[in-house]
């Protein structure tokens, strides 16, 4: 939890999601207020929505700990997904060969601001 210039931050790390697919959802909620963002995340059919909603609720709960105000007065200031370490696996192929599989992870960071 970070509180600089009335901004509150929450981070989720090492999620087994592709950063590109997470960014696609984060672009939809960036700049919106809390209530609109939660509504969008509930009805979008993408897998990252659940993790993003959890991170957003964590940021709002961090703000409530620092005695800010009503949930509806929060605006999503920054929302971004960074790459985490890739899990490296191998798929067996014909004639004793191995095919590498890279399973991506990501870190989601959401910063909200009280208006």
Domains held by the chain: number: 1
Phi, psi of 17 (to 5 degrees): -135, 150
Output the pLDDT for position 25. 95
Output the pLDDT for position 66. 55
Domain that holds residue 40: 3-114
Give the single-character DSSP code of 32.
S
pTM of the model: 0.86
Q: What is the CATH number of the domain that holds 20?
A: 3.90.470.10
Query: Which residues of the chain fall below pLDDT 70?
Result: 1-5, 65-69
What are the tens digits of pLDDT across the range 17-37?
Answer: 999 999 999 999 999 999 999
Output the pLDDT for position 71. 80
Task: Tell me the helix, strand and coil percentages in the chain, rounded to 5.
Answer: 40, 35, 25
């Amino acid at each position: 939890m970070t509180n600089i210039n009335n901004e509150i931050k929450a981070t989720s790390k090492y999620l087994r999601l592709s950063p590109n697919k997470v960014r696609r959802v984060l672009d939809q909620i960036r700049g919106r207020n809390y209530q609109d963002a939660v509504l969008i995340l509930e009805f979008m059919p993408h897998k990252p929505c659940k993790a993003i909603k959890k991170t957003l609720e964590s940021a709002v709960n961090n703000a409530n700990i620092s005695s800010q105000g009503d949930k509806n007065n929060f605006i999503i200031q920054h929302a971004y997904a960074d790459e985490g370490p890739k899990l490296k696996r191998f798929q067996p192929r014909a004639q004793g060969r191995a095919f590498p599989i890279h399973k991506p992870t990501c870190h989601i960071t959401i910063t909200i601001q009280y208006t």
